[in-house]
Structure 1
Amino acid sequence: MHIQPKFAPLPPLPDINVHSYLFDKDLPEYTAQIDSVTGHRRTLRQFLDRARDGAAALSAPSAQGGAGLRAGDEMVGILSHNCLDYVALIHSLLVLTTPFALLSFYSTAYELTHALRLSKATCLFVAPDLVSLAQRCAKEVGLPQDKIYILEGHAKGKRSYHDLVVTARKRKIPRPSIRPAVKDTLAYLVFSSGTTGLPKAVMITHGNLVCALAQYQAVAEAVFAVYPPPTYATPEGIPVSLAFLPFYHTFGLHMFNFRCFLAPTTCVVVPKWNAEHVLRIIPKYKITFISLVPSVVQPFLDAQKRLKSDLSSLVSFGSGAAYLPPRLAEELARIGPNTTGVAEGYGMSETVRSSSVRPALPGGLFRPRVGSAGILLPGMEALVLRDDGTHAGVGEPGELLLKGENIVRGYWQNEKATREAFVEGGWMRTGDRFSVDQDGMFFFEDRAKDILKVSGMQVSPTEIESVLMAQPDKLIKDAAVAGVSGGRTSDEKVPRAWVVLSSAGRKRSKADVVRALDDWTKEHLSKYKWLRGGIQIVDAIPKSPTGKVLRRQLQDEYEKRAKAKAKL
């Protein structure tokens, strides 16, 4: 099945630096950002001044008090919780066309070392509470300690982004012109789990970003053709968005570092998700829009039942990163007196943000369909293919392939993975199975590959298997990991491991082995990758004649036993 978008074609997209695309125009002054913890505010002009002075400071030689970043010879790592200077630093680097690598603040030393080594980061900006971790991992990969800066806040012996900006202003270091970029100019790396081993670094270009922003503008125009833009009962009469999604993740990065600047919007920045904190600040700042991931929806609903906050300012929600069960979407849509619904879609890091969309207000091109991921974005094409490579029919599941200027070129320093995912004709294999109805509405069926989504984050079973096999006591000789029921939503799976004992493992009690493996994985993997589904000792891992682990067989046997146990 070959799907074309219902939208009008996108206009030809220019070769342009995405910072120029957003800001080289007459712009009104408004409150662009608010720190939800301190209450500190920045207007759009203050933000742009800081980003441009930051570019001057980053590119200035060390002798002038700058960071001495050399054009075309740097990769800047960012390891921090959400904060105002995170956005400023990103745009400073875009001005310089200096690429950056987005590093998870949940990282263990094992994960961060891998990310630093893969990205070849030449300097780091980190949150104060992550300095110790950053220093340890930097030493491991040979990154000099004087190349570690603080992003926002203070740490003894370390210069910060703020220090650099202040120095540039005091010394009147000239602001550099925005460097030109073409469509293939690398903007940043974001990490995405693959079907084998450790996470891969997805290469996002300036052209990818410009296309994704143009797609959003086209969708907004189509919605407003049916529904006039709402009026907002906010201090400045503009929408106010809650920015809690982690900026190192594709969803949060795009929403609150790029898309929010297409039209006047105030972003209330939250360092980390806390449902009670969020419910307190919604009425304080008259928040009108919240982007969520499914794993936080139920805690948010439960907290509201306890606190009963005034949610009259809320107009709509967005949900992404994983499938949102219709029941939760319906509860969200009814949570406030003025909420209109939940915008959903489908996307992945390799599409920059989205490939399909279903707005909160259906109408016109957007037909209401419960459980749908919406329709294809403008400027894209899609194929739905059977396992034998032939085209699936209407309503028939098959693997989704995508094409468009928002699709990335591949994976950093990983030609093999790039060849496997990006195939002839410019198509990208998503590894996800969809069906498409007669109206062009996409419906997620299941994942063709083994990747799990836990709390909206991708989890690679093979990464966990690799960590289990690396346990230093050599307690096991084989391992398999797959998703089982037990997540925060009905469709979310949590990782479970099946392991085969080695001779060393058989000399210890099973409980001791399980405890040692569990402690090891918790030390080396982020919390959302922990084996919440448990660890089971088995005699052998079921495999196909070609050696492929039969994860489905393990999952089915587990679920069958779990159901039988529940009936007792």
Structure 2
Amino acid sequence: MYYKSLFPDLPKVPESNVHHLLFNRPDQRERPDYTLFMNVATGQRRSFREFVKRVRDGATSLGADVAQGGLGLRPENGELVGILSENCPDYVALMHSLLVITVPFALFSSHTTPYEFKHANSLAHATRIFTSPSLLPLALTSEKRQHKLVSSARKNNIPRLPVRHATKDTLTYPIYSSGTSGPPKVYACYSTKYPRYRYHVTTILLVPSLIHQLVHHPRFKTTDMSSVKSLASGAAYLPSQLADQLCTRFQDKDRVAEGASACYGMSEFTMTIAKNKPGSVGILVPGVEARIVRPDGSLAGPNEPGELLVRGGTAALGYRGNEKATRETFVDGVVLTPSSQDTLKISGMQVSPVEIENTIPAQPDKLITDVSVAGISGGALGKKEVVARLDTWVQGQLSRYKWLRAGIKIVETIPKLPTGKVLRRVLVEEYEREVKAKL
């Protein structure tokens, strides 16, 4: 099947630095100032104009010559800045300062291990690393702290640098793939505390793992969340049962239900592919085309399983430093989605782990709160009463070839990325280690 977005084509936009679109539009100059960022932990607030000033001062301190007191960062010198920090207001300011001077940056997770950080930086090749004090031992080296740089630019009256021109081919930042099927890859993009509702939050954007924590939190049913009008989820699959649990908690159920549907996308596409259609991956967003094809490359028919291929202007140009993976994933402007990697082949039949994962939590005794299904080679695990009842439930709900023939194992936590995406390969590796230990 071939699909094209139902929305009108996107208008042609002149190439320019994204800073002009976000912070330098004529209509913004006429607006009264307002609070743009709020640090819930410290109470710090930063207004729109304060933030823009900090971004421009930061860009000046980063891009000005060393003789003037800056760092002299230039994209033509091969500079790429790594950012390793917890979330904070200056994290966002630093990114936008780098956008102003068109110096690309790589974002390293604050949860990363030394091994993961080494691998990530080997792909990004960061020439400078900005880090928070708590993560300095992990970063090993660091440059001046951002707030000192900004203060230096103001104190020394360094002439403010202009916003540099950017085109669609200007490298902005490399993004890392999720690593569900192996070590993360990096590709180039060209241009848990309970929420505090005293700020009358109206819109919440969450990954499924945080939604899971939210609905199972002891204060979920008692906290006043009457201000919330819209919810959105992304980065990983949102089970329908979890979405229903979330929506039933709010007073304005109709409006919340509209916003609670998950968005479907992939890192290699850099943006959302489809959204806002509960029970499916959604409706294609403007400017996106998609095909569902059979293994031989021919178009699949209606309701026929196949591989999803997508095309659009937001697709990345490829994996940085990995030509083989680029050739396999990006073909003539089309991005091959990795959906087939999660599909299991049982006796020649395709089985979706997600279908089984949706079936198990629906067991009426509510024996578990979270589940993941992974394919392994043979074997069987011991069955306790809970496991036996879950197994009986699955066999009563699904076709025989979808039964969990290798068994069910109870674990304390399911390994996931910070975004909530399940690391099935970790479950398989753990099982294989247990099997080898018994030999």
- Using the size of structure 2 for normalisation, the TM-score is 0.77
> Do structure 1's residue 375 and structure 2's residue 283 form an aligned pair?
yes
Q: Aligned ranges for residues 13-92 of structure 1 at < 5 Å?
A: 13-25=13-25, 26-27=27-28, 28=31, 29-72=33-76, 73-92=78-97
Alpha-carbon distance in structure 2 between the residues aligned to 1:121 and 1:335:
45
CA contact (8 A) 1:289 1:316 kept: yes
Change (3 A) 1:109 1:496: farther
Equivalent pair of 2:83/2:106 in contact (CA under 8 Å): yes
Matches of 1:302 and 1:446, distance apart in 2: 29
Aligned to 1:396: 304
Task: Determine helix, strand or coil for the equivalent of 2:268.
Answer: helix
Partner of 1:355: 273
What aligned pairs does 1:210-225 form with structure 2 within 5 A after superposition? none
For the pair 1:431 / 2:436, whether they are aligned, the reply is: no
1:16 touches 1:180 (CA, 8 Å); kept in 2? yes
Q: Which runs of 5+ in 2 are unaligned?
A: 355-366, 380-414
For the 8 Å contact 1:497–1:535, the answer to whether it is kept is: no
More strand by share: 1
SS in 1 for 2:251: coil
Mark the CA change 1:401 to 1:305 in structure 2 (over 3 Å): closer, same or farther.
same
Is 1:169 aligned to residue 154 of structure 2? yes
Per the TM alignment, residue 108 of structure 1 is displaced from its structure 2 partner at its CA by 1.2
> How far is the alpha carbon of 1:44 from its aligned partner?
0.7
> Counterpart in 2 of 1:301?
215
Question: Contact 1:295–1:489 at 8 Å: present in 2 too?
Answer: no
Contact 1:202 1:412 in 2 (8 A): yes
Distance 2:302 2:279 in 1: 17
Question: 1:414/1:387 Cα in 2 relative to 1: closer, same or farther (>3 Å)?
Answer: same
In structure 2, relative to structure 1, the CA distance for the partners of 1:62 and 1:488 (3 Å cut) is farther
TM-superposed CA distance for 1:20, in Å, is 1.6
In structure 2, the partner of 1:11 is: 11
- The corresponding residue for 1:290 is 204
CA–CA separation in structure 1 for the residues paired with 2:268 and 2:180: 14
- Looking at structure 2, the residues matched to 101 and 412 of structure 1 have their Cα atoms a distance apart, in angstroms, of 12
The 2-side partners of 1:173 and 1:487 are apart by 60
1:115 aligns with 2:99: no
State the alpha-carbon separation in 1 of the partners of residues 123 and 16 from structure 2.
28
1:124 paired residue number = 129
CA shift in 2, pair 1:539/1:310, >3 Å: closer
Q: Deviations over 1:241-286 (max 9, x none)?
A: xxxxxxxxxxxxxxxxxxxxxxxxxxxxxxxx22x3x1xx11x110
Q: Could you say if the C-alpha distance between residues 100 and 493 of structure 1 is closer, same or farther in structure 2, counting changes exceeding 3 Å? A: farther
Q: Which amino acid in structure 2 is aligned with residue 69 of structure 1? A: L
Give the aligned residue type for 1:51: V
Cα distance change on mapping 1:125 and 1:494 into 2, 3 Å: farther
Does the C-alpha gap of structure 1 residues 495 and 98 become closer, same or farther in structure 2, counting only changes over 3 Å? farther
Q: Could you tell me which of 322, 329, 337 is aligned with 2:236?
A: 322
Offset at 1:353?
A: 2.3
Q: Deviations over 1:99-133 (max 9, x none)?
A: 00111112111111122122110000112111001
> For residues 167 and 377 of structure 1, do their structure 2 counterparts lie closer, same or farther at Cα, with a shift above 3 Å needed?
same
The code of the aligned residue for 1:399 comes to: E
Distance 1:19 1:396, change over 3 A: same
Distance 1:385 1:290, change over 3 A: same
Asked if 2 retains the 8 angstrom alpha-carbon contact of 1:380 and 1:404, the reply is yes
Q: Kindly provide the amino acid, as one letter, of the partner of residue 40 in structure 1.
A: Q
Q: Of the candidates 176, 183, 193, which is equivalent to residue 168 of structure 2?
A: 183
Structure-2 separation of matches of 1:300 and 1:496: 31
Q: For 2:82 and 2:155, how far apart are their aligned partners in 1? A: 26
**Alpha carbons 1:34, 1:40 under 8 Å: kept:** yes
2:183 aligns with one of 194, 198, 201: 198
Tell me what 1:408 maps to: 316
Query: Contact conserved, 2:62 with 2:72, CA < 8 A, in 1?
Result: yes
1:431 is displaced (CA, Å) by: 1.9
Question: Structure 1: which amino acid aligns with 2:335?
Answer: M
Q: CA deviation at 1:538?
A: 4.0
Distance 1:531 1:315, change over 3 A: same
Aligned AA (1:303): H
Q: Deviations over 1:187-225 (max 9, x none)?
A: 10111145875211121111xxxxxxxxxxxxxxxxxxx
Taking structure 1 as reference, are residues 306 and 351 closer, same or farther at Cα in structure 2, changes over 3 Å only?
closer
Cα offset for 1:75? 0.3
Identity %: 42
Q: In structure 2, do the counterparts of structure 1 residues 305 and 179 end up closer, same or farther at CA, with 3 Å as the change threshold?
A: same
- TM-superposed CA distance for 1:354, in Å, is 0.7
Please state how far the C-alpha of 1:175 moved relative to its aligned partner.
Answer: 1.6
Provide closer, same or farther for how the CA distance between residues 343 and 302 of structure 1 changes in structure 2, counting only shifts above 3 A: same
Aligned to 2:398: none
Q: What is the TM-score when the length of structure 1 is the normalising length?
A: 0.60
